[in-house]
Structure formats: structure tokens, C-alpha cells
Copies of this chain bind each other. A is one copy, B any other.
Amino acid sequence: MSTSSHSYPMSSGEDQHSYIHNSSYQKAGINGVEERIKQAILEKLDLQLNSSISNFTIADFGCSIGPNTFHAVQSIIDTVKFQHLKQNNETNIVPLEFQVFFNDQSNNDFNKLFKTRPLSSECQYFLAGVPGSFYGRVLPRNSIHIGHTSYTNHWLSKVPEHVCNRESPAWNKNYIQCNNLIEEVTKAYKVQFIKDMEVFLEARAEELVHGGLMIVIGQCLPDGVPLYETWQGHVVETIGDCLMDMAKTGITSEEKIELFSFPVYFPQFSELKRTIEENGSFMIEMIETISHPFENMRLTNEFITSMFRAFLTTMIEQHFGNGVVDELFNRLAQKLSKHPIDFEMWKTQVVYYVVLKRK
């Protein structure tokens, strides 16, 4: 796998394997923190929301193809409208107009995104699609009042160098993720994560107005927990095992697997916190974690297989070719069926939510 910058959109289309139908785990994570985010907006947003602002701009970075992005945006709009009415206790105030920028990589399916947007009769905002990597500027300076991103910052801008190099101490062997088993690999991923996060926050700092809020939601590891101890890490390890089985039958090769590693990194919470604290452009208004709302639910094997398939398909196809994915996830389903995940035994990731205010 090349270590240059790539992008891997969520599975498109509307079939059973698409992200549109397999993003309820992410949605539950977002829903779990929704009320806290609303509260933070009500408490922290102070943009003199009187006559001086008539257009309110929101951007969702890494929006994918819905439906989560539309829900998140609507929730923000409802909250800002409420706040606007409260701060302008007059009957004749001009209602705010909202413009929402939906950003994702250029190869995201924007046609699909536009097709699945709320009906124009319900849509209370002007919508715009913005193609381009959020690890860089995508919007004019000083133009956004609230930025939002959820379940995106574990995607690195690239696979860390050396991770797919047999000669390097940071070689990830035939593991396909940063599972925290090899210290040098973890270090390489961590360096890339910190660098990417810095670039992300610098770009957002330029795009947000002073006093604007940046909301960041995602999953991370609890402090002291390596990924290989979590059930999420275990599922990806199992996918790696399936690939190795497929290499034995000649469908793919061990060499090909050794050249592959996901550009995905889940930091521990304190790592994430430190990275954000080091940024000088934002004040941290809130940075917390909650358990994922599904933590105490027994996820079915089918749900788990579908969720990881929608998340990982594009990357796997790009490296291993089109013919591999069906076989791979059939094998995953079989393995999970033979050895169901004992959720009591495995640790789990947590949902973090961060509200930053532009200085």
C-alpha cells in the first residue's frame, strides 16, 4: 500500500452493504452526546446573534453520504434557532438564514448526498457540497460559525511511513491495523495522528469566525487500554486472520497482506486531549467521554459484519481488488459464528466529544 495521501469513502449506493444502511452504530454514538452538544451550544455560543448576523453558516467536515450528517446539522440548527429567539426577544426579528457546507473527499458520492438530503419543503437551510480533504483548507477564512465533525479523525491522511516496510522496526508484519502490539508501529501511527490533528485544527481555526464553535465527536480508547484488548480491535484482527486464510488458498498472498495496513488510528483519551490542548487557536469548552450507547447491547454477528464491511470495503477493494470483499466478509461471518464475541471479556472503545471555541 502506498503511503501517499489517499481517501476511502464509505460504501456508496443503497444496497444492503452501503454506509447509508450501516451507519447506525456511529449514529448511536452521535445521538448519545447530542443533548450535551446542544447544551454546550446554548451555553457557549455568543455571536451577538442579533441583527448583526443574518446568515448563519455551519460546516460538517467528513460528512460522507448521510443520513447521520443531516441529523447532526438539523440538531445544530434547531439549537441555534432557539438561542437566536431567546437572545432576540422581539416579535419582528428577521429570521436567520442558514447555509450548510457538507465537506468530504472529492471521491465522496456527492450526487448521492444531494439526492438523499431532506425534502426541499422540510429543508431549512441552503446546502452546498465542498469536495476536498479536511486535512487542509476547504473554506474561506473567517466564514463558518459552527464546524462539526463526527467519526472522522481516526482516518489518517495516509498510512504512516515504514509501517509497510519489511526493513523498518516500525514494520506492522501481517497485521492490518495499528493494534498496539508493536511499540514502534504504535509510535509511527501516533506521530501521524498528532500531525494530522494539528493540520485539521489549524485549517478549522482559519475557517471559523472568532467565537465560533468547533464540535468534534469520535471514538477513542480509554486510557491504558490497547486496541488489541477491545472487541473492535478483535474484529479487525479476525478480518486479518481471514485474509491470511485466503492467502493460503491463493485468493490473495501473504506479501500483499504485509504491504497493507489501515490508515486508521484510535488514540487513547489522554493522547487525544493533549493533542487538542497543544493547539493554540481554540479554547477547550468541553472534552469528555461517554460509554457507547450500544455497550450493554448484544450486537449480532450480522450487525458487526455489516458495520465493518461498510467501513472498510473501499480500502480493501483498492488494495486487494474487487473480487475479495464478498469472500472476506463471508469468512468473517463464519468465524464470528463459530467463535461469537464474548462482550463481557473484551474491553471497548468510548465515545469522545469535544467543543472548542475559536479564540
Q: Pick the contact of A140: B110, B126, B139 (CB < 8 A).
A: B126
In A107-132, which residues have CB < 8 Å from any B CB?
109-111, 114-115, 117, 120, 126-132
Q: Pick the contact of A141: B97, B110, B142, B143 (CB < 8 A).
A: B97
Contact B129 A101 (CB under 8 A): no
Asked if A54 lies at the interface with its beta carbon under 8 angstroms from chain B, I say yes
Cβ–Cβ < 8 Å partners of A132 in chain B? 120, 127
Asked if A138 lies at the interface with its beta carbon under 8 angstroms from chain B, I say yes
Cβ–Cβ < 8 Å partners of A137 in chain B? 126
- Stoichiometry, as copies per complex, reads 2
Q: How far is the CA of A159 from the CA of B127 in the complex (A)?
A: 27
Q: How many residues of A contact B (CB 8 A)?
A: 28
Asked if A55 lies at the interface with its beta carbon under 8 angstroms from chain B, I say yes
Residue among A98, A111, A127, A142 with the highest chain B CB neighbour number at 10 A = A111
The 5 closest A-B pairs by CB, nearest first: A128-B128, A55-B140, A129-B129, A114-B131, A97-B140
A–B complex contacts, Cβ < 8 Å, 30 sampled:
A54-B140, A54-B141, A55-B141, A55-B142, A55-B143, A97-B141, A99-B140, A99-B143, A101-B128, A106-B114, A109-B111, A110-B110, A110-B111, A110-B129, A111-B111, A114-B129, A114-B131, A120-B132, A126-B130, A126-B137, A126-B138, A126-B139, A126-B140, A127-B130, A127-B132, A128-B128, A128-B129, A129-B129, A129-B130, A129-B131
**Chain A residues in contact with chain B, CB under 8 A?**
54-55, 97-99, 101, 106, 109-111, 114-115, 117, 120, 126-132, 137-143
